[in-house]
A and B are shown apart, each in its own frame.
Chain A
Amino acid sequence: MAELKTETITLNMGPQHPSTHGVLRLELVLDGEIVLEVKPVIGYLHRCFEKHAEAMTYPQVVPYVDRMDYLASMNNELGYAVAVERLCGVKVPEKVEYIRVIMAELNRIASHLVALGTYGLDAGAFTPFLYCFIDREKILEIFEITCGARLLYNYIWVGGLSHDITPNFKEKVLEFVKVFRPRIKELNDLLSFNKIFIERTANVGVLPPEVAINAGTSGPTLRGSGVNFDLRKNDPYSIYDRFDFKVIVGNGEMGTVGDSWDRYMVRVWEMEESCKIIEQAIEQMPAEGNVQEAVPKRIKPPVGEIYARTETPRGELGFYIISDGTNYPIRVKARGPAFCNLSALPLMSKGCMIADLVVILGSIDIVLGEIDR
C-alpha cells in the first residue's frame, strides 16, 4: 500500500477558551494530536499602563499596578512602593513593614489557591476548586475588613498604608492560619497525591533548569525546575530577611525535575511557608505606630532611575522607574513575571499532546492582566 500523505494543520486555541485562563490565543501547529509548535499571541487586554503612568503622579500609579496582576494586587503594590521608596530614600515605619509583609503573604496564599484550584479544573477535577475558593474567601474577607476592597485594594501606598489595621486583625489572621494549615493537607489528599492527577501532570512539560534560567522564568516556574532562588531570600527587600522560612524547590518526586507536577507542588508547599512568615510577623509586629506617618505630602524623587524587583506569587516583578525630579515619572516599565514565564511555554510544550498543553499552560499560572499590561 502506498504511504498515506499526512499534513500538519494550524489550529487556533483561544482567545475565548476556558483553559487559556483569560484572553490568550495560542496558534498551534499540529501533526494529528501532537503539538509541533506553539505560538502564543498576546495583547488582547493591552491598555498601555506604562503610557498612562507617565501622565500620573507617583501615588496615582498605585491603582494601575493593582490591575496588572489582579490576583495578587498587594504584591504588585508592594513592588511598586519598594521601587519608589528606594528612589526617594523614604524610610517606612516598622509597623507598616510588618503589615505589608502579612498582606503580601496572605495575598500569595490567595493567589496560589486560585492557581491550584483552577489547575485542578484544567486537569478535570472540579471539587478541589471549590475547596480552594472557600479558603480564599476568608482571606478576601480579611482584606475587605482592612481596606474595604476585595480584589483591587490601593492599600499599600508609597511610604505607608491607606488604612490602619482593625483591633481584631491579629486574632483574625491567626485564626485563619490555624484553620488553613489542615486544609493544605486536605488539598493534598484530594488532589496533589491523587493517582489520576499525578498521571496527568508528572513528566509532562519538563523544563530543565538551564533552559528555565535562560528563558528568564521566575517564581514557582523556576523553582519547580529545581533552582533554589527566591528574591525574598536571595535579594531581600522590605523586612523579609528577618523571617525564617524555606525556599521550596521541585525535586522530581513523581517524575522528572521541572515537570508540571513539580511546579504545582511548589505552590502547595509555599502556602505553608507563607503561613510561617505570617505567624512570625504577627508575633514581632509592634503595637504602636502611625501607618501614614512617612507618607510624603508630595512625592518628588531626585533625578535618577531604579530597577527594583520583588517576589510576587508568579515570580520576579521588576519596576524600572526613571525620574526627572518632577511629580511625574518619565518612564515606568513593569517586568511582569508571567510575561517571561509564558515566553517559555513554546520550549516546554514541543511534542506534547493537545490535552497536555492545557496542563502545561495551567502549571505556569499566567494572569493576562499582567502579561498584556
Chain B
Amino acid sequence: MNSNEIYNLLKSFFPDAVIDYKDDKPVEPYIIVSAKEIDKICLFLRDEENLQFDYLSCLSSVDFDNDNLAAVYNLYSFVHNHKLNIKVIVPKSDPVIKTVSSVWNTANWHEREAYDLMGIIFDEHPDFRRILLPDDWEGYPLRKDYKVQEFYNGMKVPY
C-alpha cells in the first residue's frame, strides 16, 4: 500500500487522531498524527493484516520551528515491503508524546535518546532516563536555543 491509501485507512479508523497528510516533493510523504493517540495508531499499524509494519527503522527528534518539537517515525514492513513516515508535532511548552516502546522494542532506546538530546518527554516509557549524557546534565543539546552549561560538577564545560 502506498502512503495515501494508508492515510485514508487510518483516517477511517482514527478520524480525530490522524491530523494531516503531506506529500510535497522532494520530501517523502508523511502523515501527521496526534501525540496522545500515537501508541494506538502504531499498534494498529503493526497488527493490521494488510499493513503489518513490524519494523521501526528510525525514530528521530527534530527542533521543528520556534515553538514546536517533532518526532519522526520511519516504519517498514518485512511482510509487505512498504514504508511509512509518521510525524508527531508537540509544542515546546508541553512536549509530551505517548511511548511506542511497547509496540516496537527499538523505540525504547530511541525515545530515551530523543529525550536526552531534544527534551521530548515520552509518557509511560518503562525506563525513562537519559541515555548518552550524564544523568545530571542540564538542558537538551540538539535544541536550537541550547546554551551549554558553564560548569559541570565543578569542571568548566566550554573550551
Contact = CB atoms under 8 A, between A and B. Distances in A.
Contacts of B151: none
Contacts of A344: 105
A48 B60 contact: no
Interface string B16-27: 000000001111
Interface in B18-54: 24-28, 54
Contacts of B55: 213, 216
Interface residues of A, number: 37
Contacts of B104: 214, 216
A322 B62 contact: yes
A215 B27 CA distance: 27
A331 interface: yes
Given A307-B58, A307-B74, A372 B105 contact: no
Interface in A217-254: 227, 229, 234
B159 interface: no
Given A306-B26, A331-B63, A343-B106, A48 B141 contact: yes
Interface residues of B, number: 32
Contacts of B131: 42-43
A304 B26 contact: yes
Contacts of B128: none
Interface in A85-101: 87, 89
B109 A302 contact: no
B56 interface: yes
B108 A343 contact: yes
Given A216-B55, A340-B109, A343-B106, A43 B132 contact: yes
A309 B75 CA distance: 12
Nearest to B127: A39
Contacts of A309: 57-58
Nearest to A340: B106
A50 B74 contact: no
A17 interface: no
A322 B24 CA distance: 14
A227 B106 contact: no
Contacts of B130: 43
Contact of A216 (B26, B61, B85, B106): B106
A370 to B, nearest CB: 12
A237 to B, nearest CB: 14
Given A213-B78, A234-B81, A307-B57, A43 B106 contact: no
B65 to A, nearest CB: 10
B67 to A, nearest CB: 16
Contacts of A350: none
Contact of B27 (A46, A216, A304, A343): A304
B60 A333 contact: yes
Contacts of A229: 78
Interface in B78-111: 78, 81, 85, 104-106, 108-109
B133 interface: yes
B1 interface: no
B142 interface: yes
15 contacts: A46-B133, A48-B117, A48-B142, A50-B117, A214-B104, A214-B106, A302-B26, A307-B28, A307-B57, A307-B74, A309-B58, A318-B74, A320-B72, A339-B109, A343-B108
Interface of A: 42-43, 46, 48, 50-51, 87, 89, 211, 213-216, 227, 229, 234, 302, 304-307, 309, 316, 318, 320, 322, 330-331, 333, 335, 339-340, 343-344, 347, 372-373
- The 7 A-B pairs at the shortest CB distance, nearest first, are namely A216-B106, A43-B132, A335-B58, A333-B60, A215-B105, A343-B109, A46-B132
